């Protein structure tokens, strides 16, 4: 098994192991920085110093680890190479990390995060993590860490599964060995991936070091073009090779729910789509506290943004639209206006497009920096929205999309948010097909959302804001 499940969300073990190693290195960097600045003459043993004053070291390591996650350092290291990882690490440590540590040191002086610990610690930590990641890439063969998966089926469903995996091949924790055709189904997968039906399934999975079998035939019932190998798959399961269906496999590996495979019965009986009053109350209190903090800190930025919009294109400064929220109830969302006043002549809703000519110069800047969405803090305080959840859509679009996309209304079973899982995993959408693809991630969040997942989304959204991803 190359993954663990933390509070209903899957995390791949190779990244977790590297993160734990780096956490230890960050603690070491903080301790060395403290010793460097210490005026004490007596020598304190390494772990003794941490035991006496653990909070400076722990807070230092925790903040820098969060900064690495926020800039997508680990996926970039695997997908884009070492150079991209270096650039993202420098931004995460020297921009985000140092600023965050200095703010914490001012707000919580009891942590004893001195300037010396911050400066020398970040400098040393950067060198240590560069070395650890270089060693990881050189020594660890990421392909060897992946579980070898056999797909039972070689038709349209199997092809859809392979197509889903292809863009994420560098990041997922599996390698598809091949596809075994099911009965007389029409073969549509790449012929190079097709394997002959094993005479002895147990011997086959052992000789090919198979870790998992994914069942994805176009027809699973007995007697339809050939018998389903139930006994053979059970024998494989009894020797430790588990079997999973394509829907659950996609959810675990890709963080989305394939709506082409989704059935209402699965939604009813699956492990998910469960909420408690305590969880909802905690989420609401967290939203109020965080929104209030952002308003107190960012009101000067909001004032300057409003002034810039008014100086360039006049009033109104704010723009409002109806959006669909929890359980289909509509509410009025607020933004700083980023388009011309006549952006929608005749009142007809239009999809935003890339390099949209209706966007003003100030509007382009505040969209790229997400400053246009700051007035939505009011919506969070009102309770219309949460910090994390599916992005709310306009009623005109929802009505049309619900007719064309099955299960679309399921995304309204949770409160919409300022940021969401779909925004992290899929670029900006401006078509029905884009909406369908984003819905798969929204359904994953609807099924599995938790406080842990909300924190992960908020941390990773920093990269989206800083790099201007997904902005039209």
- pLDDT, tens only, 178-191: 999 987 788 999 99
Does 205 score more than 50 pLDDT?
yes
Does 269 score more than 90 pLDDT?
no
- Is residue 266 in a domain? no
* Residue of higher predicted confidence among 362 and 327: 327
Mean pLDDT computed over every residue of the chain: 82
Q: Is 112 left (phi over 0), alpha (psi -120 to 50) or beta?
A: left
- Is residue 56 in a domain? yes
**For the chain, how many residues are written?**
472
Same domain (yes/no): 286, 397: yes
Q: For the chain, what is the domain count?
A: 3
- Is residue 175 in a domain? yes
Query: For the chain, what is the total number of helices (H) and then of strands (E)?
Result: 20, 10
- Is residue 272 in a domain? no
DSSP three-state, residue 345: helix
- pLDDT, tens only, 233-257: 999 999 989 999 999 888 888 888 9
Does 403 score more than 80 pLDDT?
yes
pLDDT number for residue 466 = 73
* Residue of higher predicted confidence among 245 and 464: 245
**pLDDT band at 202; cut points 50, 70, 90:** very high
Does 140 score more than 60 pLDDT?
yes
- Is residue 75 in a domain? yes
The range of the structural domain enclosing residue 135 comes to: 3-141
pLDDT number for residue 41 = 39
Query: In this structure, are residues 340 and 350 in contact, taking their beta carbons and an 8 Å threshold?
Result: no
Q: What span, in angstroms and rounded, lies between the C-alpha atoms of 277 and 280?
A: 5
Same domain (yes/no): 159, 241: yes
- Section 295-316 average pLDDT: 89
- Section 200-214 average pLDDT: 93
**pLDDT band at 113; cut points 50, 70, 90:** confident
- Section 314-327 average pLDDT: 89
Beta strands in 259-329 (DSSP E): 318-324
Query: In this structure, are residues 320 and 289 in contact, taking their beta carbons and an 8 Å threshold?
Result: no
Same domain (yes/no): 455, 383: yes
Does 273 score more than 80 pLDDT?
no
Contacts of 9 (CB under 8 A, 6+ apart): 448, 450, 452, 453, 456
**Which of 116, 141, 166 is at the close of a domain?**
141
Does 123 score more than 50 pLDDT?
yes
pLDDT number for residue 28 = 87
**Which of 89, 122, 141 is at the close of a domain?**
141
**pLDDT band at 52; cut points 50, 70, 90:** low
* Residue of higher predicted confidence among 353 and 444: 444
**pLDDT band at 9; cut points 50, 70, 90:** low
Does 435 score more than 60 pLDDT?
yes
pLDDT number for residue 224 = 45
- Section 310-338 average pLDDT: 89
pLDDT number for residue 417 = 93
**pLDDT band at 201; cut points 50, 70, 90:** very high
The DSSP letter of residue 7 is T
Same domain (yes/no): 435, 286: yes
pLDDT number for residue 59 = 86
pLDDT number for residue 213 = 94
- Section 141-166 average pLDDT: 84
pLDDT number for residue 95 = 85
* Residue of higher predicted confidence among 268 and 142: 268
Same domain (yes/no): 246, 321: no
Query: In this structure, are residues 20 and 62 in contact, taking their beta carbons and an 8 Å threshold?
Result: no
pLDDT number for residue 392 = 92
**Which of 221, 254, 287 is at the close of a domain?**
254
Does 92 score more than 60 pLDDT?
yes
Residue 242 has phi, psi (to 5 degrees) of: -70, 160
- Section 319-335 average pLDDT: 92
Q: What span, in angstroms and rounded, lies between the C-alpha atoms of 447 and 275?
A: 9
CATH number, residue 160: 3.40.50.720
- Report which secondary-structure segment, H or E, holds 417: strand 417-419
- pLDDT, tens only, 24-36: 899 888 888 877 7
* Residue of higher predicted confidence among 227 and 278: 278
- Is residue 125 in a domain? yes
């Amino acid at each position: 098994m190359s993954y663990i499940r933390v509070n209903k969300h899957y995390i791949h073990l190779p990244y977790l192991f590297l993160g734990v190693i780096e956490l230890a290195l960050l603690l070491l960097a903080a301790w060395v920085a403290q010793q460097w600045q210490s005026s004490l003459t007596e020598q304190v043993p390494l772990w003794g110093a941490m035991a006496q004053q653990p909070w400076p070291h722990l807070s230092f390591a925790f903040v820098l680890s969060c900064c690495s996650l926020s800039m997508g350092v680990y996926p970039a290291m695997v997908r884009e190479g070492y150079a991209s990882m270096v650039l993202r690490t420098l931004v995460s440590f020297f921009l985000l990390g140092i600023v965050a540590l200095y703010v914490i040191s001012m707000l919580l002086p009891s942590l004893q995060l001195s300037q010396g610990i911050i400066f020398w610690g970040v400098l040393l930590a950067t060198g240590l993590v560069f070395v650890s990641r270089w060693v990881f890439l050189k020594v660890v063969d990421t392909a060897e860490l992946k579980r070898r998966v056999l797909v039972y089926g070689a038709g349209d469903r199997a092809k859809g599964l392979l197509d889903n995996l292809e863009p994420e091949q560098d990041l997922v924790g599996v390698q598809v060995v091949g596809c075994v055709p099911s009965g007389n189904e029409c073969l549509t997968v790449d012929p190079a991936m097709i394997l002959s039906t094993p005479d002895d399934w147990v011997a086959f999975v052992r000789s090919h070091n198979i870790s998992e079998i994914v069942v994805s035939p176009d027809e699973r019932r007995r007697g339809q073009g050939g018998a389903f190998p139930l006994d053979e798959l059970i024998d494989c399961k009894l020797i430790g090779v588990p079997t999973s269906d394509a829907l659950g496999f996609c959810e675990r590996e890709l963080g989305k729910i394939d709506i082409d495979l989704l059935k209402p019965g699965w939604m009813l009986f699956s492990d998910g789509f469960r909420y408690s009053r305590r969880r909802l109350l905690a989420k609401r209190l967290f939203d109020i506290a965080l929104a209030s903090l952002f308003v107190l800190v960012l009101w000067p930025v909001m004032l300057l943004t409003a002034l810039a919009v008014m100086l360039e294109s006049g009033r109104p400064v704010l723009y409002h639209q109806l959006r669909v929220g929890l359980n289909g109830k509509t509410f009025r969302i607020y933004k700083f206006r980023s388009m011309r006043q006549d952006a929608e002549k005749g009142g007809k809703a239009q999809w935003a497009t890339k390099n949209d000519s209706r966007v003003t110069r100030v509007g382009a800047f505040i969209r790229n920096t997400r400053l246009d969405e700051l007035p939505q803090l009011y919506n969070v305080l009102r309770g219309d929205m949460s910090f994390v959840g599916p992005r709310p859509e306009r009623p005109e679009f929802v009505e049309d999309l619900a007719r064309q996309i099955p299960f679309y209304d399921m995304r309204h079973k949770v409160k919409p948010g300022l940021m969401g899982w779909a925004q992290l995993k899929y670029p900006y959408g401006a078509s029905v097909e884009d909406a369908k693809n984003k819905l798969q991630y929204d359904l994953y969040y609807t099924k599995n959302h938790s406080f842990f997942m909300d924190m992960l989304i908020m941390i990773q959204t920093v990269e989206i804001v800083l790099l201007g991803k997904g902005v039209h």
